[in-house]
Amino acid sequence: MTPALRCIRERAPGAGARVAVLLGSGWGGFTQRLAAAVRIPYAELDGFPNAGVAGHAGELWLGRLGGIEIAVLAGRRHVYEDGRADGMNRALHTLRDFGCRVLVQTNAAGSLDPAIAPGSVLLIADHLNLVQRSPLQGPGCSERFVDLADAYDPELRALAQAAARRGATPLHEGVYAWMLGPQFETPAEVRMLRALGADAVGMSTVPETITARRLGLRVLALSLITNLAAGLSSHRLSHAHTLQQAQAAGDAACALLADVVSAVARGA
């Protein structure tokens, strides 16, 4: 048993979860929907990252959502923070060993399609790894060659869409493009991304998806659309604007996430 897993077992004896949720910018309010929650700072968990970006709390939550036990990673490490794509590897390994079999990811993203307006949610069907970085690089990694044909599980996506319909909540679906950041894209880059078939763009999620698939976890991912990408509107982009827009839409997004996670936990 690893030190991180031992710490979790000691802090939350008897706890277990088959579904893990990874919260990105704008999704932090989801933790308030958990009952009987145990909170463990990442700093107490060996190998967990230092979440150094505003909007990422850096805590593991273990609790119940509608009577279902889940694990929640409140915050992630981004590649632009230190240049490493494997920042979430140890955390995901630990949750796999804890018993999780599904990873539900969330992020904040810019829309590349005016029809997908700020405040809406996009269900990721596929991704473009334009950074061409992998968390499976390095001398200590084995089994590098991971099949990503169904990186975002089709059955889980169907469950998510059904949950959104039951709640009468619009849920777009499309392709997410990963750009390194932390700077935002230029209008020319946005035109390139649209030509490549991307519907949204962001600075995370893809490395965690690769690691999760390497570990045998099924993956579902949701993007909270906080803005139209550069050149598609007159707004000047900033991280403060992203957080402001995410906060404004966060309650509705977290309600949808709760419905989706409950459906996935029951159906996975």
What is the CATH classification number for the domain harbouring 98? 3.40.50.1580
Using alpha carbons, select from 48, 37, 34 the residue that is nearest to residue 3: 48
Question: What is the H or E stretch that residue 122 is in?
Answer: strand 121-129
Marked catalytic residue, from 111, 120, 204, 223: 204
Percent of the chain surpassing pLDDT 90: 77
Minimum mean pLDDT range among 51-60, 143-152, 164-173, 218-227: 51-60
β-strand pairing of 121-129 with 59-65: unpaired
* pLDDT for the residue 238: 56
Marked catalytic residue, from 51, 56, 152, 265: 56
Q: How many CA atoms lie within 13 Å of 262's alpha carbon, on the beta-carbon side?
A: 18
pLDDT at 1 over 70: yes
Q: Is 227 a catalytic residue?
A: yes
Between CA 124 and CA 221 the distance in angstroms is 5
pLDDT at 54 over 80: no
pLDDT-based confidence at residue 25 (cuts at 50, 70, 90): confident
* pLDDT for the residue 243: 61
Range of the domain at 106: 3-267
Marked catalytic residue, from 203, 221, 258, 263: 203
Q: Is 127 a catalytic residue?
A: no
Q: Is 71 a catalytic residue?
A: no
Marked catalytic residue, from 51, 71, 88, 108: 108
Q: Is 235 a catalytic residue?
A: no
Marked catalytic residue, from 25, 107, 134, 223: 25
Where is pLDDT greater, at 154 or 267? 154
**DSSP secondary structure string, 191-216?**
HHHHHTT-SEEESSSHHHHHHHHHTT
pLDDT at 213 over 60: yes
Where is pLDDT greater, at 251 or 242? 251
Cis peptide before 114 (omega within 30 of 0): no
**DSSP secondary structure string, 38-74?**
EEEEGGGSTT-----STT---EEEEEEETTEEEEEEE
Number of domains in the chain: 1
Reported as a single tens digit per residue, the pLDDT across 110-167 is 999 999 999 999 999 999 999 999 999 876 666 788 999 999 999 999 999 999 999 9
* pLDDT for the residue 79: 94
pLDDT-based confidence at residue 228 (cuts at 50, 70, 90): confident
Q: Is 204 a catalytic residue?
A: yes
Q: Is 42 a catalytic residue?
A: no
pLDDT at 51 over 80: no
The pTM for the full model equals 0.92
Q: Is 81 a catalytic residue?
A: yes
* pLDDT for the residue 140: 64
Residue 74: partners with Cβ closer than 8 Å, 6 or more residues away = 23, 28, 31, 56, 57, 58, 59, 60, 61
Q: Is 192 a catalytic residue?
A: no
Marked catalytic residue, from 57, 192, 233, 239: 239
* pLDDT for the residue 55: 56
Marked catalytic residue, from 15, 37, 80, 241: 80
Mean pLDDT, the chain, integer: 90
Q: Is 80 a catalytic residue?
A: yes
pLDDT-based confidence at residue 231 (cuts at 50, 70, 90): low
Marked catalytic residue, from 177, 227, 229, 230: 227
Between CA 203 and CA 75 the distance in angstroms is 13
Marked catalytic residue, from 69, 78, 172, 208: 78
Q: Is 56 a catalytic residue?
A: yes
